[in-house]
Structures are given as structure tokens and as C-alpha cells.
Amino acid sequence: MLTGEMSGQTSSVDRVGVVGGGLMGAGIAEVSARAGHDVVVVESSDDAAKRAQGRLEASLGRAESKGKIDSAAAVLDRIRVLTDLDSLADREVVVEAIVEDEAAKVELFRRLDQVVEAPEAVLASNTSSIPIMKLGVVTSRPAQVIGIHFFNPVPVLRLVELVPSLLTSKETTERARAWTQEQLGKNAIDCQDRAGFVVNALLIPFILSAIRMAESGFASAEDIDRGLVLGAAHPQGPLALADLIGLDTTKAVAESLYEEFKEPLYAAPPLLQRMVDAGLLGRKSGRGFYTYD
């Protein structure tokens, strides 16, 4: 459990909660269970819980087949996928990984404040862009609220962004750092509580520029991506990356950035807005700038 603050030390985390079992939430649950934690994932419905369970089983099965873990079954035994938020009462760290919608996240943090019993428990958000302050101030313990932004796919990418608000305590930040680095094996960087943090504040304008280029007919999606892969040694082109992130998430992050900074480079292009309206969200929907099986 999280104790030892009086001595200036932070002990290990045993019990982790994750709210949301989508790609990000399932990934956070997986890496936590692979680190030996007892993990509870809370989903919004029985159907969503079944999808989350299937997502975990598939990912861990792939990891076992590649020799990255000894037993998928052993890791799965440490994960429970439930639909009752009250099941998070005894958690030491809870990570919110629901839809990138400010109102939904604010309401969830109000509820987590009531549900999670330990006053020193870390309440974290995996938001890509929403200011952590807005989530912390709706709780009675903003000092325990922090952004811990993982990257997709969570089991593969080692980076996390630690985002304390002005009210987050140093102890909470150090607990989050110790958990993510020492137990999960991630590499943490520190970010100010500004929309987009570090990575998305740089990445999203780049992706939006590529979308504008395709929208204007300057070049095809394939040629834009090929140009960056072959000409700039990027592992993936910006439009394929947007499909991986999800065009709805890309749009939501762009809107958060534009709302905060009012810079034209953050404004979502009309093509992105129309694609999201049409349900062309990228890999998650089977079609975005590319088509997926």
C-alpha cells in the first residue's frame, strides 16, 4: 500500500483501479497486472465489460505467443472486469481512461472522490489534453489528483507524462513517478498542466497540418505518409498515426488545444470534423484515412 510519507519514502502499489476498458484502459490494466498488481477494471455496462475482457485476453495471448510473458492466464487471474464503481473503494491508485470528454471526466472524478476510501489514494486521469485542475477541484482532495498520460499501445510504449495541477502535492507526484517508473517500467517526463501537455502539443499540429495538406489536394494520404516515413525516418506517417490514435480523439485534443491557446494551428480542419461526424474514426471503426479489416 502507499505508506511511508513521513519518512520521505513511497512504498509499492498493490491495488490498482482503471475506469474504462477501451484500448487505453485495457492497456493500463494489462501493464499493471503484468507488474503483479491486483487490478479492477470498471466498465459502463455488461457488454462493454465483455469487450474489455476480450481485449485483454487477445492482447495477453499475443504477448504470451511472442514470449513476452510466461502465462497469459496468470496475468488475467489478477484482473477483474466489473460494472460497479464501488468496487474501487479499496484501490491505492485509480486511473480514469474514459472518453475524452470534459463533462464526463468531471462527473467521474466527483464520484471517485466519494467511492475511493483511502484519503492518500492517487486519483489519476489518462486524459490527452483536458486540464487536470478542472478534475481536481471537483473533489475534496485535489492534492491527490494528477494526470498520468500513457501512450497507445500501452504495453509497448514506455513513455508516460506526469501532469500535476497547481494543487497536486509533491507527495502525489512522487508516488505516481515511483509507480510508473519503478513498478511499471515506464519512463516518466514532467509536464505543466497545459492542454496537450508535451507530446500532443507538438504532435497534434503536425497531424492537423497533414490533414490540411490532404484536404487541399496538395498530396494524397499515401504520399504524405510515405514522404514522412522515407524522407524523415518516421516509423509511421501522420495520417496513419491519426487513424491509430482515433480521429475522434485527435479532434477532441485539437479542440482542447484551440480552446486554451486560440492558435489557428490547433483548429480542427473541416475534413477531420466531417470524418468524425461520419463515424470514420480510424482503426477503431475500420475506416479513416485508410481502410482496415
Domain limits of the chain? 5-190, 200-277
Q: Work out the number of other CB atoms within 10 angstroms of the CB of residue 173.
A: 17
pLDDT along the chain (293 residues), means of 10: 46 94 96 98 97 97 96 97 98 96 96 96 94 97 98 94 98 98 98 94 97 98 98 97 95 93 96 98 96 93
Q: Which of 129, 200, 255, 256 is catalytic?
A: 200
CA distances from 222 to 9, 225, 266, 275, 289 (A): 51, 5, 23, 17, 9
- Which pLDDT belongs to residue 7? 36
128 as an active site residue: the answer is yes
200 as an active site residue: the answer is yes
Domain 5-190 carries which CATH code? Answer: 3.40.50.720
Q: Which of 149, 165, 255, 256 is catalytic?
A: 149
The one-letter code for the residue type at 107 is: E
Identify the architecture of domain 200-277 in CATH.
Answer: Orthogonal Bundle (1.10)
Q: Which of 43, 96, 161, 255 is catalytic?
A: 161
- Helix/strand/coil for 173: helix
161 as an active site residue: the answer is yes
- Which pLDDT belongs to residue 177? 98
92 as an active site residue: the answer is no
Beta bridge partners of 145: 123
- Which pLDDT belongs to residue 152? 87
- Which pLDDT belongs to residue 232? 97
- Which pLDDT belongs to residue 3? 43
